């Protein structure tokens, strides 16, 4: 029979020696072989039992409950618990990836991100609160059908899609016009208006009423923040609105 020392098991399972000793003390997973000098040795079967315990611990099951269920632990139950844990980890990673994309796009627009903006990366509670607040405002402003349409088509700051990049670049172009004191009626302003209408057509599938409702909501800093949208400066929105109005008036 092959034996493994506590040090080998500790390294193999990435668990501390103190934890192994504690599991032995409470008779949760005692090593098969104990020598008079205090050294302990585990078999492959012992290691399997330890792996079961560690898996159950990731599911936030108490040691006392683990002790009660270990004897009845089937392969199917083990896989079910492992599957649930992996799903939870995947969801958390997806949320973190989306938020990282959001910060990246914000950095692209603003040139900087404050450290306090990184906190939601480590807080599931903050992310859940943002989603709940967003849902409340969406229910107030849009019908269920409109919400479905927006969720499917609207570019998101937490996405790295080409459509999101197009809208970010559009905002940058408007900011350049403002810095250079170009008017909405200028050639640059009119090209921006034309590109915005084309992007809007793609984004809202030609639904002008929904596009108008969304733009009106977008003009409110409070609503934009609650919907978890990038807070566009009022000057940018004013420039865009004036450019589009002039373009539509003179293109008829």
Distance CA 229, CA 222 (A): 10
Instruction: Find out whether 213 and 142 touch, Cβ atoms under 8 Å.
Output: yes
Of these ranges, 6-20, 48-62, 87-101, 193-207, the one predicted with the greatest mean pLDDT is 6-20
Read off the pLDDT of residues 28-85 as tens digits, 9 standing for 90 and up: 899 999 888 888 999 999 998 899 888 888 777 788 888 777 766 666 776 777 777 7
Question: What share of the chain in percent tops pLDDT 90?
Answer: 24
CA distance 90 to 52: 21
* pLDDT of the residue at 183: 94
Output the pLDDT for position 81.
Answer: 74
How confident is the model over 124-138, as a mean pLDDT? 71
pLDDT at position 230: 64
Domain boundaries, the chain: 4-73, 91-250
Give the model's pLDDT for residue 41. Answer: 92
Backbone phi, psi, residue 42, to 5°: -110, 145
Q: How confident is the model at residue 124 (pLDDT cuts 50, 70, 90)?
A: low
> What is the residue-averaged pLDDT of the chain?
80
Q: Could you give phi then psi for residue 6, rounded to 5 degrees?
A: -60, -35
**Residue 226, pLDDT score:** 67
Question: Is there a contact between 3 and 43 (Cβ–Cβ < 8 Å)?
Answer: yes
CATH of region 4-73: 1.10.1660.10
How confident is the model over 94-113, as pLDDT tens digits?
777 777 776 666 666 555 55
Indicate whether 92 pLDDT > 70. Answer: yes
What is the per-residue pLDDT for 144? 85
Question: pLDDT digits over 162-188, tens only?
Answer: 777 888 888 889 989 999 999 999 999
47 and 15 Cβ atoms separated by less than 8 Å? no
pLDDT of residue 180: 93
């Amino acid at each position: 029979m092959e034996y493994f020392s506590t040090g080998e098991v500790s390294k193999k399972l990435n668990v501390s020696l103190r934890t192994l000793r504690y599991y032995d003390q409470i008779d949760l997973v005692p090593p098969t072989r104990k020598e008079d000098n205090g050294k302990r040795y585990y078999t492959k079967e012992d290691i399997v039992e330890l792996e079961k315990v560690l898996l159950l611990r990731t599911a936030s099951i108490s040691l006392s409950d683990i002790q009660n269920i270990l004897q009845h632990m089937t392969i199917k139950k083990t896989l079910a618990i492992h599957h649930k844990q992996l799903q939870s980890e995947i969801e958390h990673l997806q949320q973190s990836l989306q938020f990282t994309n959001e910060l990246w796009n914000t950095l692209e627009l603003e040139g900087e991100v404050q450290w306090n903006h990184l906190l939601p990366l480590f807080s599931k509670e903050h992310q859940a609160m943002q989603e709940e607040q967003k849902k409340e405002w969406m229910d107030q402003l849009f019908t269920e059908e409109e919400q479905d349409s927006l969720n499917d088509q609207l570019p998101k700051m937490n996405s790295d899609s080409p459509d999101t990049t197009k809208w970010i670049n559009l905002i940058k172009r408007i900011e350049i016009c403002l810095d250079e004191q170009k008017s909405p009626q200028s050639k640059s302003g009119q090209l921006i208006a034309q590109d915005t209408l084309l992007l809007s057509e793609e984004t809202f599938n030609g639904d002008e009423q929904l596009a108008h409702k969304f733009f009106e909501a977008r003009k409110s800093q409070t609503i934009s923040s609650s919907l978890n949208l990038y807070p566009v400066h009022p000057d940018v929105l004013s420039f865009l609105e004036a450019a589009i109005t002039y373009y539509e008036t003179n293109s008829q």
